[in-house]
């Protein structure tokens, strides 16, 4: 059986990012000064080949895509993708873009050499399910790169403050601020290869993971994905509840 998706919360997430898309880059002008170096650090490690970028947003990562990468970008918000298309055009940078839910990817199993998400799994309603999907579509031996802000565990008092503020931040801006992403990666059945702390108190982490399965059951889906000039049948993996 496929994982049950919370359609109501997913729709809220889509609407929230559609709403803030025109001002999203302005909202992040100050933090982006630091984020740039972290983005560049991550993309320098991505192996050549076909790469899935989840939560492409307004295309902030486009300047860091290396020339030997064939990047396919997805986002739940069509209005965010409008911003990304404009940025790609301005940069002269061809990127294949699709509106898609990270919790239910319309791609076959084992089709990407790597996957990347930067500050994304703070916003996916079911983060564990989204991470499972990355493990499904990335080839065995491939890598999953995550740049995420996470809950502060030490001192614990700061973590508790983040827990209290999380509902307000979620409503106003979109992301959760208290996600335990490293734990969620393991809960999703992925193998954590490396974790690097990039900010004080482990607030931001670069996590490199790998699919931990050698094979998986597949169920034919009626959805179809058209990419690279060919049409492919889409398969879904049966997942256990988190």
Domain boundaries along the sequence of the chain:
7-236
- How many angstroms separate the first and last alpha carbons of the chain? 14
- CATH code 3.30.390.50 for 7-236: no
- Give the model's pLDDT for residue 238: 32
CA angle 131/61/52 to nearest 5° reads 40
Q: How far apart are CA 136 and CA 214, in angstroms?
A: 10
- Give the model's pLDDT for residue 163: 84
CB 121 within 8 A of CB 174: no
Mean pLDDT by 10 residues, the chain (242 residues): 79 93 93 95 97 98 96 98 97 95 98 97 94 98 96 89 85 81 96 95 95 53 41 32 34
Q: How far apart are CA 24 and CA 57, in angstroms?
A: 9
- Give the model's pLDDT for residue 213: 62
């Amino acid at each position: 059986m496929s994982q049950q998706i919370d359609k109501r919360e997913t729709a809220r997430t889509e609407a929230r990012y559609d709403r803030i898309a025109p001002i999203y880059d302005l909202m992040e002008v100050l933090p982006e000064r630091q984020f740039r170096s972290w983005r560049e650090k991550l993309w320098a490690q991505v192996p050549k080949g076909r790469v899935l970028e989840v939560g492409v947003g307004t295309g902030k990562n486009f300047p860091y895509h290396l020339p030997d990468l064939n990047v396919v970008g997805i986002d739940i918000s069509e209005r965010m993708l409008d911003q990304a298309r404009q940025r790609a055009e301005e940069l002269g940078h061809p990127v294949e873009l699709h509106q898609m839910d990270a919790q239910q990817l319309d791609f076959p199993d084992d089709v990407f050499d790597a996957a990347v998400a930067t500050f994304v799994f703070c916003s996916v309603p079911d983060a564990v399910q989204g991470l499972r999907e990355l493990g499904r579509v990335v080839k065995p031996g491939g890598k999953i790169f995550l740049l995420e802000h996470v809950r502060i565990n030490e001192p614990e008092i700061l973590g508790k403050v983040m827990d209290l503020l999380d509902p307000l931040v979620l409503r106003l801006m979109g992301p959760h601020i208290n996600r335990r992403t490293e734990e969620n990666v393991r809960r999703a059945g992925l193998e954590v290869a490396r974790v690097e702390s990039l900010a004080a108190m482990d607030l931001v982490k670069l996590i490199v993971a790998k699919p931990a399965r050698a094979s998986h059951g597949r169920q034919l889906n009626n959805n179809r994905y058209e990419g690279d000039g060919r049409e492919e049948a889409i398969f879904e993996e049966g997942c256990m509840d988190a």
